[in-house]
Amino acid sequence: MPFKQNVYEKAVYKEPAPIRDTEHPFQAMIDRFDIAAKILELDPGFYEYLVSPSRIHITSIPVVMDDGRIKMFEGYRVIHNEILGPSKGGIRFSPDVNVNEVKALAAWMTWKCAIVNVPFGGAKGGVVCDPSSMSPGELERLTRRYTANLLDVFGPDKDIPAPDMNTNAQIMAWIIDTYCMNTRNTNTAMVTGKPIILGGSLGRVEATGRGVMSVTLSAMAKLGMSPQDSTVAVQGFGNVGSIAAKLLSGRGCKIVAVSDVHGGYYNENGFDVEDLIEYASNNNRSLAGYPEAQEISNHELLTLDVDVLVPAAKEDQITSANAPDVKARIIAEGANGPTTPAADRILDEKGVLVVPDILANAGGVTVSYFEWVQDRQGYFWSIERVNKRLDRMMKTAFNNVFVASEEYGVPLRTASYVLAIDKVASALKLRGIYA
């Protein structure tokens, strides 16, 4: 029988507290976890086990800078869970990365993998640095020392890193070389998102954006919406946002607004997304000054009268302050944590269909899994095979979440957490607690 109680009440494991917009990301994850745990009537011991990170590694990274001085950086690797398989998650380089953010991202990876039926647990890494101010040599030395400090953590059957914010295939190449030189063992499956020539997978760069496209089209089909008659606004024009915009445009959607760190850009007649991408690539990865657009603010983009909104930038973009003004029928979260817990309730009451981050942007880890499989087999797939399998897995995951949403009478986000937590808890019950 569908669960019809107020799903935003706090679970029994914690003291009641208001849902706020000012929580750090890990607390936002717990807020959603608590709702699903209450629906599942999760055993309190299992709750404590599943909500807590398995291990947190904090390491100091000395780097000899180009001017000869030694500079210290702080790095993190959080292993949230390994019940379903080796932990998996990206590494981000950012001046504002912190351990609470990395804990949240690691937990979200656990739930993502469970939702798309990938046999990985969740992990995430980060280094507090400003890569834009560092030379390639400094970045290489930073990456190699970070990897060397975590040699006992990484491994193809232990913990598998990947690119994330401000890291790329070159960073992954330095990681794999450092690992293999120290272990005296060439094992290309120890990292994903690496260059094709070093065992990377076709389709990996586009995977997250393609996954966003896939679940957006699935959501539109459920609401009886035609792509050819739908308008889309995309916040964030990095790898995820630009590719999602390009692919949705290719399916007939009209992309009327995009944004990057410099601001928002609107064209009621729709953008030529290929031209936007080319302009950004020739303009230091910026859309600033794009001639065929009206400049708008970030708030205006999020509240435009469009059919679909794709927040693919940063955390906490849709809050209780602007959620009442959101007009989109569908929100497909390309970024991690773009909607606060307080905004969830408002959007649900407005009837907005929110495809949550742990489902919408799981395309990246899905193709990372494909890469890991290909490396272990020593046999590599065509781009058509990669994309076909990705689309199938994303559509299956969306349909499973949608069915659970109707069964329990809850939003898609809560249904995603219910399915993911139930799967990991069931595996934990079978494995038992080692003592």
Distance CA 136, CA 114 (A): 36
Specify the pairing of strand 70-81 against strand 55-64: antiparallel
Distance CA 405, CA 428 (A): 24
- Rounded to whole angstroms, the Cα distance separating 16 from 170 reads 46
CA dist., res. 210 & res. 285, Å (int): 20
- Closest C-alpha among 316, 302, 295 to residue 233: 302
Q: What is the CA radius of gyration of the chain?
A: 21
Q: Catalytic: 124?
A: yes
Residues listed for the chain: 435
DSSP class of 137: H
**Which residue matches tokens 């869970």?**
81
Structure tokens at 72: 């210290």
Return the SS3 of 265. strand
Quote the Cα angle for 326-266-252, to 5°: 85
Please tell me the distance from the alpha carbon of residue 355 to that of residue 340, in angstroms, as a whole number.
14
Residue 155, beta-bridge partner list: 159
Strand-pairing partners, residue 94, are: 128
Instruction: Calculate helix-pair angle for 383-408, 412-431, nearest 10 degrees.
Output: 100
d(CA 402, CA 405) in angstroms, rounded, equals 5
361: CB partners within 8 A, 6+ apart = 112, 208, 211, 212, 240, 333, 334, 335, 336
Catalytic option among 38, 103, 112, 124: 124
Catalytic residues: 124
